[in-house]
Structure formats: structure tokens, C-alpha cells
Structure 1
Amino acid sequence: MKETKLIKEIPLASSDNGVLSVATVKEPYGEGSEPVVSIAIWLTKSDDEPDWKVHVPAKNLDQVIEALQEAKKAL
């Protein structure tokens, strides 16, 4: 059974009303599927669907966090 838990909503930088959200999703693709972290961006918070989203498999989360930390250092 698909279960989504919102972890955090962050105001989207460079946007008046945008939001970036981070959530966990258990069984996102049906029974027995691996959990993911869902990262979504709404350019306008009132929209029903995000303008962009990505699902990061839980097993890749540490690698993605490391890559994001490297990207932050490179900016």
C-alpha cells in the first residue's frame, strides 16, 4: 500500500509562491516496490501537481546526499 509522509516543505528560492518538498514514499510503484524519497518543486504552491519531481531510491540516498554536498562545495 502506497504511503507518503511529508518530511519538509521549503520555500523555493527566487520564487514568490513556490515550494520545494521532500517526502518518503513506501511502495511507490505497487506492492513490494522499494521505498523512495520524493523531491518535488511547485513553482506556484496552489497548483495540484508539481512542476517537477524526482524519486530517489532509498538505496541510493547516501550517494545522492554525497553528490549534493559536492555540488554545494563547487558553487
Structure 2
Amino acid sequence: MPSKHIEIKTFKLAHSSDDTVKIEHVEKPYGEYSSPVVSIAIYSHGKEKTAEVEIPYENIEEFFKALNESVAMCDSIPRSELHGELNANVGGGA
């Protein structure tokens, strides 16, 4: 029996014009007796899959913990205010 993909959510990827992230639950990803996984895929222009990771549900809590640690580390790094050098809310062009 082939794998079954159930779409959970699709959303626009930040800092891109039309790339998307698609989250899916996948039943029998590697054959009849394989355990389900979560698929996280990036689609370029909303159509062409350019990257994908499949995470077994047994690793989801550890995955969430690592994501939260990554966000905390990112938040701890000082950065300049977005477009602060322009004293404006949006960037300029050349």
C-alpha cells in the first residue's frame, strides 16, 4: 500500500516572494509496516519541492525542544534595528 500524505498546514516562507512551507502527516512513508512521520517541505514558487525533512513522531518532542533552543539562541544575539540606518519602517532600493 502506498504512503498517504495528509496536509496539515501550508504557509508562506518569510523573506521570499512566493516560496511556501508545507507540513504533512505521512502514513506508511517507507512501506506497509513503517511508522508515520511528519514531513516538512519547502516549495519554490509554490510548486517545485526544493527541500524536505521527515521526522518520526517519536522524535517530535526533541525536535520541538531543539527549535525552541534555536529561537532562544537567535533572540539572544544583538542585532541592528531592521532598516534602522534609513530611519524608516521599510527598506529602500538602489
TM-score between the two structures when normalised by the length of structure 2 = 0.74
Aligned equivalent of 2:88: none
Identity %: 34
Aligned equivalent of 2:36: 35
Tell me the alpha carbon deviations over residues 12-66 of structure 1, each in whole angstroms, 9 at most, x when there is no partner.
111111000111101100001011000000121132xx10000001110111011
Deviation at 1:69, TM superposition (A): 0.7
Cα pair 1:41 1:53 within 8 Å, conserved: yes
Cα pair 1:22 1:38 within 8 Å, conserved: yes
In the aligned structure 2, how far is the partner of 1:37 from the partner of 1:21?
A: 10
Aligned equivalent of 1:44: 45
Computing the radius of gyration over CA atoms, which structure comes out larger, 1 or 2? 2
Query: Which portions of structure 1, spanning 4 or more consecutive aligned residues, are displaced by more than 2 angstroms?
Result: none
* Gaps in structure 2 of 5+ consecutive residues: 75-94
- Map 1:1-75; keep pairs closer than 5 Å: 1=1, 2-47=3-48, 50-75=49-74
Deviation at 1:4, TM superposition (A): 1.0
User: Relative CO higher for 1 or 2, CA cutoff 8 Å, sep ≥ 6?
Assistant: 1
Deviation at 1:10, TM superposition (A): 1.1
